[in-house]
């Protein structure tokens, strides 16, 4: 009986080690076979939980508010934004092809809620992680190296009264679908209108 339990424990350990190895190698290679299910899991379970505290003082995650590039719908997504000079940088763990990143790049602006403060940001650009890694904590930097995160999104704060180019003719915070965000709902990276 003891030998059977030891064999079962060994098989379980080897199975978990194999899963961890596939996860690590898949994330490093940016494999859609690994990232796709993880993104769906994050969207369905992790993001709604994280949105409960995201953007509040002391929370790990900030909130980026953006508008769908095709639908025009407003969305909120938890991200690991860190303050960097005149704006923020966000490590792109899943790469620059995520919907929220593509939405921000397409519109040219977004809103970030960070440490309880709300900031309008614009001029998004994909930058090399090497150029901005000093803004992240040592733990974040180790994680980025482990998962081969080589890109970050840099955005710049819009100062009050600063002129900026709008993607639409609508007033700031407005678009074809109305107000940018309905602040009464925070449900992860889903539509918040």
CA–CA separation, 149 and 146 (whole Å): 8
Q: Which of 38-47, 59-68, 95-104 has the lowest mean pLDDT?
A: 38-47
Q: What is the CATH number of the domain that holds 43?
A: 2.30.110.10
3-state secondary structure the chain: CHHHHHHHHHHHHHHHHHHHHHHHHHHHCCCHHHHHHHHHHHHHHHHHHHCCCCCCCCCCCEEEEEECCCCCCEEEEEECEEEECCEEEEECCCCCCCHHHHHHHHHCEEEEEECCEEEEEEEEEEEEHHHHHHHCCHHHHHHHHHCCCCEEEEEEECCCCCCCCCCCCCCCCEECCEECCCCCCCCCCCECC
Number of domains in the chain: 1
- Whether residue 72 lies inside any domain: the answer is yes
Q: pLDDT class for 44, splitting at 50, 70, 90?
A: very high
Q: pLDDT class for 183, splitting at 50, 70, 90?
A: very low
Tell me the average pLDDT across 51-57: 96
Please give the pLDDT value at position 151.
97
Instruction: Write down the mean pLDDT value for the chain.
Output: 85
Top mean-pLDDT range of 35-39, 45-49, 63-67: 63-67
- Whether residue 3 lies inside any domain: the answer is no
- Whether residue 99 lies inside any domain: the answer is yes
- Whether residue 100 lies inside any domain: the answer is yes
Higher pLDDT, residue 166 or 59? 59
- Whether residue 25 lies inside any domain: the answer is no
Query: pTM for the whole thing?
Result: 0.76
Domain range for 110 is: 31-179
Tell me the average pLDDT across 109-134: 97
- pLDDT, tens digit, 9 for 90 and up, residues 57-98: 999 999 999 999 999 999 999 999 999 999 999 999 999 999
- Whether residue 39 lies inside any domain: the answer is yes
- Whether residue 11 lies inside any domain: the answer is no
Please report where in the chains the tokens 């966000």 appear, as a residue: 90
- Whether residue 4 lies inside any domain: the answer is no
Residue 186 has pLDDT above 90, yes or no: no
CA–CA separation, 193 and 189 (whole Å): 12
């Amino acid at each position: 009986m003891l030998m059977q339990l030891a064999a079962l424990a060994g098989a379980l350990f080897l199975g978990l080690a194999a899963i961890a190895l596939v996860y690590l190698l898949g994330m490093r290679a940016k494999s859609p076979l690994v990232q796709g299910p993880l993104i769906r899991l994050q969207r369905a379970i992790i993001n709604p939980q994280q949105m409960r505290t995201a953007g509040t003082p002391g929370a790990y995650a900030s909130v980026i508010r953006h508008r769908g590039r095709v639908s025009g719908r407003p969305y909120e997504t938890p991200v690991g934004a860190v303050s960097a000079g005149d704006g923020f940088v966000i490590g792109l763990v899943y790469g620059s092809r995520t919907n929220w990143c593509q939405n921000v790049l397409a519109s040219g602006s977004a809103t970030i809620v960070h440490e309880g403060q709300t900031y309008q940001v614009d001029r998004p650009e994909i930058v090399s992680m090497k150029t901005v890694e000093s803004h992240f904590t040592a733990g974040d930097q180790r994680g980025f190296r482990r998962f081969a995160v080589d890109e970050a999104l840099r955005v710049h704060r819009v100062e009050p009264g600063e002129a900026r180019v709008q993607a639409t003719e609508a007033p700031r915070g407005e678009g074809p679908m109305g107000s940018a965000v309905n602040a009464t709902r925070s449900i992860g990276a889903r539509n918040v209108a």
